[in-house]
Amino acid sequence: MKDAKIRLFVDAPLGAGQAVAVGEAQANYLFNVMRLSRGAQVLLFNGQSGEWRAEVAEAGKRSGILICAAQTAPQIMPPDLWLLFAPIKKARTDFIVEKAVEMGAARICPVQTQHTNADRIRPEKLTAHAMEAAEQCGATFVPPVDDLRPLDKVLATWPEGRLLFWADEAMAGQNLPITGPKGAPSALLIGPEGGFSDAEKSRLRALPYIRPMSLGPRILRADTAAVAALTLWQAQMGDWA
Ligand code: SAH
Domain-wise residue ranges, the chain: 7-73, 81-237
Nearest CA, atom 12, ligand 1 = 191
The verdict on the CB of residue 168 being under 6 Å from ligand 1 is: yes
pTM, whole model, 2 decimals? 0.95
pLDDT class for 2, splitting at 50, 70, 90?
low
CATH T-level topology, domain 7-73: Ribosomal Protein L25; Chain P (2.40.240)
How much is the mean pLDDT over the chain? 95
Q: Give yes or no for residue 96 having a pLDDT over 60.
A: yes
In the predicted structure, residue 65 carries a pLDDT above the cut 60: yes
pLDDT surpasses 60 at 1: no
Q: Report whether residue 77 contacts ligand 1, using a CB cutoff of 6 Å.
A: no
Q: What is the mean pLDDT of residues 100-118?
A: 95
Mean pLDDT to the nearest integer, 54-73: 97
Handedness of CA 114, 115, 118, 124 (dihedral sign): negative
Q: What confidence score (pLDDT) does residue 118 get? A: 78
How confident is residue 14, by pLDDT bands cut at 50, 70 and 90? very high
Mutate to test the pocket of ligand 1, among 115, 196, 220, 232 (most ligand atoms within 8 A of CB): 220
Residue 89 in this model has a pLDDT that exceeds 60 = yes
Atom of ligand 1 nearest to the CA of 219: 19
Encode burial over 133-165: b for 16+ CB neighbours within 10 A, e otherwise.
bbbeeebbbbbebbebeebeebbeeeeeeebbb
Q: How far is the CA of 218 from the centre of ligand 1 (A)?
A: 9
Q: Is the pLDDT score of 163 beyond 90?
A: yes
Q: Is 148 helix (H, G, I), strand (E, B) or coil?
A: coil
Q: What percent of the chain clears pLDDT 70, i.e. is strictly above it?
A: 98
One-letter amino acid of 180: G
> What mean pLDDT do residues 9-25 have?
97
Short-list 90, 82, 86, 29, CA closest to 59: 29
Q: Is the pLDDT of residue 133 over 80?
A: yes
Ligand 1 and 214: CB distance under 6 A: yes
**How far does the centroid of ligand 1 lie from the alpha carbon of residue 75, in Å?**
35
Are 233 and 81 in contact by the 8 Å Cβ rule? The answer is: yes
pLDDT in tens, 174-214: 988 899 999 999 999 999 999 999 999 999 999 999 999 99
What fold does the segment set 81-237 form as a domain? Alpha/beta knot (3.40.1280)
Taking residues 2-30, what's their average pLDDT? 92
In this predicted structure, what is the pLDDT of residue 4?
62
